[in-house]
Amino acid sequence: MPPVATENVAPDAAKSDTSAPYLSTLPANDFSWQITLAEKVVAITGANRGIGLGIAEVCLANLATNVYSLDLMEPGEEFATLQKRYPNFQFIQTDVTSEESVEKAINHVVEATGRIDGLVANAGMTKHQPALKFERPELEQLFNLNVFGAYFCAQIAARKFIELGIKGSIVMTSSMTSYRPNRAAPSAPYGATKAAVRNMCHTLAMEWSKHGIRVNSISPGFVRTAMTYYVETAPDWDLKMQYYGGMPRLADPRELGGAYVYLLSDSSSYTSGIDIPIAGIVGAW
């Protein structure tokens, strides 16, 4: 009697599974095991400011050959300041909700550098208000950018990795609100979008592992950006910090960067399908 695992399997399907090449993420024998992005080209969506800009700075500090910000808005003063220090930090105007725009941007990166090694799907937005006040257009805007934008950026990057034979890494920015509510500034739809991002990373990691592509996510807690600066101005901020039990401050965006660098580097060759919470014990709230 044949093994159970091979029963009722169509011959064509079985042939397809065995014929597909498996691309291992294990580095070469002479790999130094230094955590570095040397010789890596990385694209980061939404890196003109905020968390994305912080990630870009840490990637550049860890010797990334090129870092591209794929952003819809024009670069500002913060971007220009970082670019003065790192001329290999560049901007490509991109609408991550448009598959055509994303594909054009990724192709531009490859045409300019000959490769792409990592994609950080970071662009996103939030809206904090009571759930009873959300209308469909607001939900559609959140999901279109945070979920569909991240998904298609990952899909387009993965296709390019496969085309070029590159063992690429995809990192998505989720949120601690994907685990639990943000009691300081509730937003049920935002938390739902970030839970979707975190969840789909697991399945994408499983599907694309045979191509040598790793997919992971990072879940930040409170980070000081243009979207969260107001948190520290709340009249009860000092009282909250007194009973917080964790780090009594917002994070600098660069404090997230080390985790992104690790996941983008070859040193994380056996790390896929995970989420790394970086929240200063924000779960205590």
Which residues lie below 8 Å from residue 140, measured CB to CB, with a gap of 6+? Answer: none
Q: Are 217 and 173 in contact (CB under 8 A)?
A: yes
Per-residue model confidence as pLDDT tens digits over 48-71? 999 999 999 999 999 999 999 999
Tell me what pLDDT residue 168 has: 98
Which residues lie below 8 Å from residue 123, measured CB to CB, with a gap of 6+? Answer: 45, 46, 52, 70, 71, 72, 96, 145, 149, 150, 153
How distant is the alpha carbon of residue 110 from its chain centre? 19
Tell me what pLDDT residue 63 has: 98
Which residues lie below 8 Å from residue 239, measured CB to CB, with a gap of 6+? Answer: none
Per-residue model confidence as pLDDT tens digits over 160-190? 999 999 999 999 999 998 998 877 778 999 9
pTM to 2 decimal places: 0.86
CA 73 to CA 57: how far, in whole Å?
18
Q: Which two tokens stand for residue 156?
A: 């387009």
Inform me whether the pLDDT recorded for 285 exceeds 50.
no
Identify residue 68 by its one-letter amino acid code: Y
Which residues lie below 8 Å from residue 108, measured CB to CB, with a gap of 6+? Answer: 92
Tell me what pLDDT residue 12 has: 47
How distant is the alpha carbon of residue 107 from its chain centre? 19
Q: Please give the average per-residue pLDDT across 231-256, as a whole number.
A: 74
Average pLDDT, the chain: 88
Identify residue 214 by its one-letter amino acid code: R
Inform me whether the pLDDT recorded for 251 exceeds 90.
no
Q: Identify which has the larger pLDDT, 247 or 112.
A: 112
Per-residue model confidence as pLDDT tens digits over 82-106? 999 999 999 999 999 999 999 999 9
Q: What percent of the chain has pLDDT over 90?
A: 69
Residue 228: closest CA among 63, 88, 50, 36: 50
Domains of the chain and CATH, by start = 34-284 (3.40.50.720)
Per-residue model confidence as pLDDT tens digits over 1-40? 444 444 444 444 444 445 556 777 777 888 778 899 999 9
Q: What percent of the chain has pLDDT over 70?
A: 85
Q: Identify which has the larger pLDDT, 24 or 228.
A: 24
Backbone φ and ψ for 252, nearest 5 degrees, come out as -75, 135
Tell me what pLDDT residue 31 has: 77
Inform me whether the pLDDT recorded for 130 exceeds 60.
yes
How distant is the alpha carbon of residue 25 from its chain centre? 19
Tell me what pLDDT residue 78 has: 95
Q: Are 96 and 157 in contact (CB under 8 A)?
A: no
